Amino acid sequence: MKVPLLDLKAQYETIKEEIMPNVTAVFDSQLFINGPQVREFEEAVAEYCNCTSAVGVSSGTDALICSLMVLGIGEGVPACRTGKKCRGSVEVITTPFTFFATAGSIWRCGATPVFVDIEPDTFNIDPAKIEDSITPRTRAIMPVHLFGQTAEMDPILEIAEKQDLFVIEDGDQAIGATYKGRKAGTMGTLGCFSFFPSKNLGGIGDGGMIVMNDDELLEWIRSTRNHGQGEQYFHDFVGGNFRLDTLQAAALMAKLNHLDQWSVARRDNAAKYNQLFADTEQIVTPTVRNYNTSIFNQYVIRVPRRDELKAFLAENEIGSAIYYPLGLHMQGCFSGLEYEEGDFPETERAAQEVLALPIYPELTDSQIEFVAEKVIEFVNRPE
């Protein structure tokens, strides 16, 4: 039996009749930039997230960059490519265990990413370690809602309020996830989402969204995504080209109506895995706090001999992936920050043990059982 890590073709077959008319309408109008579908989709996402406003942008990475720019973080400090010590005038606290774009966006804006280790069970930033990393140069905290579960936001927001810091939620893997009844992305100053095709709400290319509950920030973000332009050809400041394509908005609008049912299916699949793995102590299944609702953008287990297991699954035509094999503090491009191996032990341990298994909604019970059977078979083999 062949089980890919993700099967976008299977999803597309179920919604093809809804997507194609939306996309065709854009071609018929030829309004590929700032077409009416963009505003329609923005309004739908704002309603879905229970926030006042949403602004479509060109990618999840650009959502982070645009947010930092609007909040004035890192302005005027060039990126450093020398590998030498290079610290920006302002700092942003974040996690070293996430996709590169989180810290990369901070760096590109000329600020310094300051890393804080993760909780060992949720893989999200550990709030108990944040305050010790705050300095007079700290301007923001950028928590990541990793693998579809929100970070521990109440203590993060309390610290931010106490220290007068912005909070930019990196919700690129978590649209629709909730924390104590609140939607991911809506609790901080700004929230960012990605619509990369492999996401739970994936586009037909790159795309992203910034959500907020602040009308003043809304106007700044709308201008920033379009070169800082107000009236056409008049620019009050230098922004960027961060616009969401109309085609993306049209396709995503068709998918948004299915997002909750896809998330339910992912949670059901996770529950099936959890039950199948329950009696195998070598396999650590995902922890979801009882006040959280995860969307399981990934289903990530911890196992011994992770790399060998991944190879074994590949031999059996089962897809898997390592998110993430190296903490950001150990990436060569950040060597100038002078972190060392051992600085973030939970991140480094997770990087050696985590493995994502197929979790997409269209999985069959027999596929899930086959994956679980092979994982259990491997971990029970003598070393």
The tens digit of pLDDT for each residue in 79-97 reads: 333 333 344 579 999 999 9
The architecture of the domain spanning 8-256 is 3-Layer(aba) Sandwich (3.40)
Domain boundaries, the chain: 8-256, 259-379
Percent of the chain with pLDDT over 70: 96
Q: Is 164 left (phi over 0), alpha (psi -120 to 50) or beta?
A: left
Model's pTM, two decimal places? 0.95
Homologous superfamily in CATH for domain 259-379: Aspartate Aminotransferase, domain 1 (3.90.1150.10)
Can you read off the two tokens belonging to residue 324? 């993430």
Residue 210 has φ and ψ, to the nearest 5°, of -115, 130
Residues 6+ apart with CB under 8 A from 360: 6, 7, 10, 11, 266, 269
Residue pLDDT, tens place only, 305-327: 999 999 999 999 999 999 999 99
Distances (CA, A) of 239 to 70, 103, 161, 345: 9, 20, 28, 38
Q: How far apart are CA 75 and CA 195, in angstroms?
A: 27
Q: For the purposes of burial, counting CB atoms within 10 Å of the CB of 19, is it exposed (0-12), middle (13-18) or buried (19 or more)?
A: middle
- Positions of E strands within 36-109: 53-57, 91-94
Q: Name the pLDDT band for 75 (thresholds 50, 70, 90).
A: low
Can you read off the two tokens belonging to residue 153? 């936001």
Do residues 354 and 301 make contact, with C-beta atoms less than 8 angstroms apart? yes
What DSSP assignment string belongs to 252-270? Answer: HHHHHTTHHHHHHHHHHHH
